[in-house]
Amino acid sequence: MANWVNSSVFYHIYPLGFCGAPMLNAGGEPVNRIKKISEWIPHIKEGNFNALYLGPVFESSVHGYDTKDYRVIDRRLGTNADFKALCEELHENGIKIVLDGVFNHVGRDFFAFKDLQENEYTSQYKDWFHVNFSGTSPYNDPFSYEGWQGHYNLVKLNISNPEVADYILKSVEMWMDEFGIDGLRLDAADCVDIEFFKKLRSFTKSKNPDFWLMGEIIHGDYTRWANNDVLDSVTNYECQKGIYSSHNDKNYYEISYSLNRQFGNGGIYKNLTLYSFVDNHDVNRLASFLKRPEYLKNCYTLMYTMPGVPSVYYGSEWGIKGERTSASDAVLRPSLDLDNIPDADMDLFNHIKELGRLHAELLPVQVGDYENILIRNEQLVFKRSCASGAVYVALNLSDHNAEVGFNITGACLVDRLAGDKQYIPQNNYISINMPPFSSMILEEGNAAKVAPQVEEQGILIGRMYKHFKGNTYIVLAIGKNSETMEDVVIYQEPAGEKKVWVRPLSMFSEEIERDGRKFKRFTLID
């Protein structure tokens, strides 16, 4: 897992629609429409997003998922130089970049398929596809071929062919070297040969150990794709559906069941950081799914605080609507004017901004364990905890005030969503009166607000430090070696196996030299 992902909040843009590109690629000179994303960087930062997932940007004939050339930016968006300038600007602003990798299929204008059309069984590329020369295609080609899910404008690649795999890997290498991308979202990952994903992982991690691979998976066991051999993460469609359905049905039992099944004690995805979202370019906008707009804030609070890396689809931070039709997804992928968002819900945007700020500040929300505390049809309380502390998330979807109560062991709870209002337990029990359609993010024993930050020997206890090789750890305490009385630092992995380590303080704090450069062995993460 790439270390930067745990502290990330993604902003998702579908570039062709967002930038107002024509529906069809008619050729001609490139037009630098991609610069529009640059104009939105202040908004992205204001929303406390620090990673950008971009839908297809490489040359295609129509919608981006019918690739024409993997190594050229779509002329409707600009040139490679235009896109490189954007990537550099994003990185200068501290924003990571993840691109759409569409490797299951290509468009009919892809160079290898065009050669197949021209040369038929003598084509050097005939084995790049699943071709049968004894039939014809729905497009009257003198051969039949496999299309993705029956869509013959999307020609399935024979990704198990070493020549095809090598071509794709060399293309990815270009994106990494030329544009400095930080990861890939793998389209239709359930249709792609897993052995190819293993090659892709090995290749990208050898170039950049922090490179992130996330697959689009709708159904099935996520661990088949998200594991130490294949991909780092997959899309959490189970909880995407559970979030809006729980609110519409006034049934928090649904989403709490899924979250506990996935991330609770013994959860099947407990050690994974899945990609969390409430809508995207393929499904109806959340504001169109929900029966009541009052549910929007709670949905986003839930999505930001559940285990996983949160993502917001462009425009949804203002609660815009959009429903796909049987004929087109275009309404889900509009061009938006930043200065004129129709029916913009600024209160929702401000709520999402605050959620992003708190996600960056609260380590338990990033990497903590999950535990259900209180479940009712219209109220839910769950706990996120790690070595650095605990956070309780409380939700009330009812249209009236609701009392929620539960046991705690800390000195107090501080509502980080409501001006750090404090709640003091009585006999280790908290009772809180929640307003209608409200949510709370309650930090237990908030060190920043309740007690001074603890520092020992120049080391901050309970804070995250990054090792020079890239791994991150939480400092638990400063101790003593019982034999030598030497000071030692006790620190723990924040996720995964959560192993605890001990190292001499002098070594933990020292400056080392590698390849002619000097730097600290461990660096405090702000």
pLDDT digits (tens, 9 = 90+) for 24-41: 999 999 999 999 999 999
Q: Which residues contact 149 (CB under 8 A, 6 or more apart)?
A: none
Q: 240 near 278, Cβ under 8 Å? A: yes
Contact 166, 160 (CB under 8 A): no
Are 482 and 489 in contact, with CB atoms under 8 Å apart? Answer: no
Tokens 């009330």 locate to: 396
Which H/E stretch holds residue 519? strand 517-520
Q: In this predicted structure, what is the pLDDT of residue 455?
A: 66
DSSP state of 452: P
Query: 318 has which bridge partners?
Result: none
> Which 8-state DSSP code applies to residue 454?
P
Q: Which CATH architecture has domain 367-450?
A: Sandwich (2.60)
- Domain limits, CATH 3.20.20.80, in the chain: 3-104+158-366
Q: What is the pLDDT of residue 393?
A: 98
Q: What angle, rounded to 10 degrees, do the helices at 237-248 and 252-263 form? A: 160
Class of domain 3-104+158-366 as given by CATH: alpha beta
Overall pTM > 0.85? yes
Domain 105-157 sits in CATH at 3.90.400.10
**Percent of the chain surpassing pLDDT 90:** 81
Per DSSP, the three-state class of 386 is strand
Q: Which pLDDT band holds residue 155 (cuts at 50, 70, 90)?
A: very high
pLDDT of residue 467: 87
For CATH 2.30.30.320, the residue range(s) in the chain are 455-524
* pLDDT at residue 113 is higher than 60: yes
pLDDT tier at 454, thresholds 50, 70, 90: low
Asked whether 459 and 505 are in contact (CB, 8 A), the reply is yes
* Intervals of CATH 2.60.40.1180 along the chain: 367-450
CATH placement of domain 455-524: 2.30.30.320
Residues of the chain with CATH 3.90.400.10: 105-157
The residue whose two tokens read 């702000």 is 526
